[in-house]
Amino acid sequence: MTRVRSASIRLTIVPPETRRPAMAPATRVGRVTDEITLATSADRERVLGTLVAAFSADPVLRHLFPADTTYPRYAAAFFGRLFDKRVDDGTVWTIGRGGSVAMWDGPKASDAPPGALDDLPADARARVDAYNAAVHDALPDEPFWYLGVLGTHPDHRGRRWGRALLADGLRRAADDGLAAVLETSNPGNVEVYRAAGFEVARELTAGPLRVWVMARPAA
């Protein structure tokens, strides 16, 4: 979810001159033509609503925030931190008016702002930190594009919007001549990502979670 690297490579900052246009070419998804657009701060509430719903049964999110009563609030704070950083970097894309969302980190990175997760209780912050530390140790040393979040609102599943966003991001990585990297703790996702050209690079344990770090080589 969160790309955590060493002091020299952390969360992404993309220089303004290298950012992609605010609107990508129209992408045909099944019988529906939808535009993949670069998210802005105005999309925040809609994006968070999509991701909170999309990840309500995700193994990582429910490990981090297990209580049903507090999951919506804590997950919104968590995704809000990721959105705020990446929207400023120009690396959040949506389709279907925010019905599906992809958050990427490019090869350049900077520190997350201090206190970014202060809205979470100490035990939840500790779980987030432990998960990030475990994943960090399994990430490649060379530059890459990192897919931190890819989610579709349950109301829009089956439209293949997530696949369209994934393909768009992979083209971006290929244009830069870089690998694409992600991690998943959902075993059902492993074959989905293999079909997109990823292979398992590492398997690790993060607390009770089994996690697959997957990489798609540079084109």
Instruction: Identify the pLDDT of residue 99.
Output: 96
Q: Is the dihedral of CA 123, 111, 4, 18 positive or negative?
A: positive
Per-position pLDDT tens, the chain of length 219: 655 443 222 322 222 223 333 334 444 444 444 799 999 999 999 999 999 999 999 999 999 999 999 999 999 999 999 999 899 889 999 999 999 999 999 987 555 665 678 889 999 999 999 999 999 999 999 999 999 999 999 999 999 999 999 999 999 999 999 999 999 999 999 999 999 999 999 999 999 999 999 999 997
- 8 falls within a domain: no
Look up residue 205 and give its two tokens: 């344990």
Number of helical (H) and strand (E) elements in the chain, helices listed first:
6, 8
Closest CA to 5 of 132, 158, 180, 155: 132
3-class state of residue 134 by DSSP: helix
Residue 2 lies in a domain: no
206 domain-assigned: yes
Q: Looking at the DSSP assignment, which residues form a beta bridge with residue 214?
A: 182, 200
Number of residues assigned to the chain: 219
174: in domain: yes
* Inside any domain, residue 7: no
State which residues form the domain around 132.
16-216
Q: At what angle do helices 71-89 and 44-54 cross, to 10 degrees?
A: 130
In the chain, beta strands by DSSP E: 23-29, 32-38, 92-95, 100-105, 144-152, 179-184, 199-206, 209-216
Compute how many other C-beta atoms are within 10 angstroms of the C-beta atom of residue 126: 12
With respect to residue 4, please indicate whether it lies within any of the assigned structural domains: no
Global pTM value: 0.83
Whole-angstrom Cα distance, residue 188 to residue 213? 14
63, 209 Cβ separation under 8 angstroms: yes
Q: What is the CATH number of the domain that holds 134?
A: 3.40.630.30
| 33 within some domain | yes
> 101: how many CB neighbours lie within 10 A of its CB?
28
In a domain, residue 189? The reply is yes
The residues, any chain, with a CB within 8 Å of residue 210's CB and separated by 6 or more, are 185, 187, 203, 204
| Total domain count, the chain | 1
